[in-house]
Structure 1
Amino acid sequence: MYGIKKISELLGVSPITLRAWENRYGVITPTRTEGGTRIYSEQDLSDLKWVLHEKEDKMISIRQAMLAFKEKQASQTSFTSPSSSDISFSNLTDAIYEALIEYDASTATETVNLAFANFDYETVFHQIFIPILYNVGYQWETGKLSVAQEHFISHFIQRKILRFFEDTQSEQGTVKALAICPPNEFHNIGLLLFSLFLKKRGVDVIYIGENTTKESIKSLIQINQVRLICFSVTLNSHIHYVVDFIEYLEKQPVKLDYLIGGHAANQLPKEYQNHVLTGELEDWEKWFQTTHYHKKVKRHNVKI
Structure 2
Amino acid sequence: MYGIKKISELIGVSPITLRAWENRYGVIKPTRTEGGTRIYTQENLEDLKWVLKEKENNKVSIRQAMIALNKIKNQKNKHELSILNDISYVQLTHDIYDALVHYNTSHASKLIHTALSTCDYEKVFHHVFVPILHKVGEQWHKAELSVAQEHFISHYLQRKILHFFEDNPIGKQPIKALAICPSKELHNIGLLLFSLFLRKRGVDVIYVGENTPKDNISSIIKINHIKLVCFSITLDDHIIYLEDFIKEIEKQQNQPDYIIGGHAVKHLPEKYQDHILSGKLEDWEKWFESIHLDK
TM-score over 0.5 for the alignment?
yes
Contact residue 170 and residue 202 of structure 1 kept, 8 A: yes
Contact residue 181 and residue 212 of structure 2 kept, 8 A: yes
| Residues 63-116 of structure 1: CA deviation (Å, up to 9, x unaligned) | xxxxxxxxxxxxxxxxxxxxxx99801111111000000011111000001111
State the superposition RMSD in angstroms.
1.9
1:93 paired residue number? 93
Equivalent AA in structure 2 for residue 126 of structure 1: H
- Measure the CA separation in 2 of the matches of 1:263 and 1:239: 11
2:259 paired residue number? 259
Spell out the pairing of 1:72-87 with structure 2 (5 A cutoff): none
Q: Which ranges of structure 1 fall in alignment gaps of 5 or more residues?
A: 1-84, 298-304
Equivalent AA in structure 2 for residue 88 of structure 1: S
Contact residue 218 and residue 248 of structure 2 kept, 8 A: no
Equivalent AA in structure 1 for residue 226 of structure 2: V
Q: How much identity, in percent, do the aligned residues show?
A: 58
Answer with 1 or 2: which has the greater Rg: 2
SS at match of 1:176: strand
1:233–1:281 distance in 2 versus 1, CA, 3 Å: same
1:198 paired residue number? 198
1:285 paired residue number? 285
Spell out the pairing of 1:1-304 with structure 2 (5 A cutoff): 88-293=88-293
- Measure the CA separation in 1 of the matches of 2:200 and 2:263: 24
- Measure the CA separation in 1 of the matches of 2:258 and 2:241: 15
SS at match of 1:179: strand
Contact residue 172 and residue 204 of structure 1 kept, 8 A: no
- Measure the CA separation in 1 of the matches of 2:106 and 2:120: 21
**Alignment: residue pair count:** 212
SS at match of 2:263: coil
Deviation, 1:118, is 2.0
After TM superposition, the score normalised by the length of structure 1 is 0.67
After TM superposition, the score normalised by the length of structure 2 is 0.69
Q: Which protein has greater RCO, CA pairs closer than 8 Å, 6+ apart?
A: 1
- Structure 1 runs (4+) greater than 6 angstroms displaced: none
SS at match of 1:230: strand
Equivalent AA in structure 1 for residue 253 of structure 2: P
- Measure the CA separation in 1 of the matches of 2:166 and 2:89: 25
